[in-house]
Amino acid sequence: MKIDFHEALGGAPQVTRHTVIALHASVSSARQWRPLAERLAQAHTFAQHGPHAFDLHTFDVRAIDLHDHGAGPAWATDGVQRPPLTLADEAALVAPFVLAAGRVGHGSGASASAGGVHLVGHSYGGAVALKVASLYPQHVRSLVVYEPVTFRLLLDDAASHAEAAEALALVAGMQTCVERGDRDGAARRFIDYWSGGGTWQAMPEPARESVVARLPALVQQFGALHNERQQASAIARLAMPTLVLSGERTVPAARRIAERLRALNPAATHETLPGLGHMGPVTHADLVAERIARHLGLPPSPGQAAARPHHVPPPPVPAPRDLSTVV
């Protein structure tokens, strides 16, 4: 027997839309979040308020292309001088969607927005998501970041200089290759560092050409990450529900950034996903999408094997220290 649950529960449902903004990694695009959009489109959650009233929640996913990626705007074109790119410039691409969603807790009425956005970011997109959250905290309902490349946290921390040197060596090596006219060599260094040795060699030629074409954008992004001052204090002030994800098989610099994030924001949920590397949201897209869906309050997807994360206990409260820049 078919039961119309609208009739069974009495009256029409209150439909509440949640806006999810997803930000991609370097040399990627908004398309990397297609599995997340598909996962959130599969499910509706509803909360019943007594026998005759309930809310039906749906998710509106907006994956945004950052500067010089996908359909994103170019930061600099031939003959036009622009100042160095900053994370605030990237955040400006996201701001109209954030502001349109309204403030957290201000949604009302049938088929209304819940007010505020859920931010999701991976790698460079994670660093941008943290910037957006710090600029518009009253508009962010929750935050998920997978290994944000917040290199400034390493540069400003005396205990992280080994990992900071590793990141700087990557940039220096890429710049040396470019200066020698070896653009393929620069792209290979970047890809193999984040995805493991041999990844560049295994990539099809069109994919390699795409990475090489984005080398100027990568240089701009490294500059934006390097010049993000007072990042530690901004992250420490974030109070929205936050999920920080890391891969078990990631590189030392990303692992150290995760440790710094735990120290700065111990109230957040910090998890390490077994078997995943820095590019987990791409190589294991369905698994990461499932974990994000759970963070947003959805029940497990039928037939989807969820990762068994390693929960990391909060670190002891660190003593006050000087966070002035060191480079």
pLDDT digits (tens, 9 = 90+) for 168-216: 999 999 999 999 999 999 999 999 999 999 999 999 999 999 999 999 9
Neighbours of 29 (CB within 10 A): 18
Which H or E run includes 23? strand 14-23
Confidence category of residue 75, pLDDT binned at 50, 70, 90: very high
Mean pLDDT of 255-274: 96
- The pLDDT of residue 303: 62
- The pLDDT of residue 196: 94
- The pLDDT of residue 7: 33
Position 112 pLDDT exceeds 50: yes
Question: Which residue type is seen at 130?
Answer: L
- The pLDDT of residue 42: 73
Position 45 pLDDT exceeds 60: no
pTM value? 0.85
Which parts of 105-153 are beta strand (E)? 112-122, 140-146
Q: Are strands 45-48 and 54-64 parallel, antiparallel or unpaired?
A: antiparallel
% pLDDT > 90, the chain: 74
Place of tokens 């060191």: 326
Structural domains in the chain, CATH included, are 5-150+231-311 (3.40.50.1820)
- The pLDDT of residue 103: 93
Pairwise CA distance, residues 164 & 152, whole Å: 8
Question: Which residue type is seen at 106?
Answer: H
pLDDT digits (tens, 9 = 90+) for 16-44: 688 999 999 999 999 999 999 999 987 55
Q: What is the DSSP letter of 139?
A: G
Confidence category of residue 11, pLDDT binned at 50, 70, 90: very low
Position 321 pLDDT exceeds 50: no
Place of tokens 């989807």: 304
- The pLDDT of residue 14: 55
Position 326 pLDDT exceeds 80: no
N- to C-terminal Cα separation, the chain: 70
Q: Which of these, 220, 251, 197, lies nearest to 75 by C-alpha position? A: 220
| 38: helix, strand or coil | helix
> Between vectors from CA 175 to CA 170 and to CA 177, what angle results, nearest 5°?
100
Mark residue 134 as left, alpha or beta (left: phi above 0; alpha: psi -120 to 50; beta: remaining). alpha
Region of poorest pLDDT, from 31-40, 52-61, 89-98, 200-209: 52-61
- The pLDDT of residue 246: 97
Q: What's the mean per-residue pLDDT of the chain?
A: 85
Pairwise CA distance, residues 236 & 226, whole Å: 19
- The pLDDT of residue 304: 57
Would you mind telling me the total number of residues written for the chain in this entry?
Answer: 327
Count how many Cα atoms sit within 13 Å of the Cα of residue 124 in the half-sphere of its side chain: 27
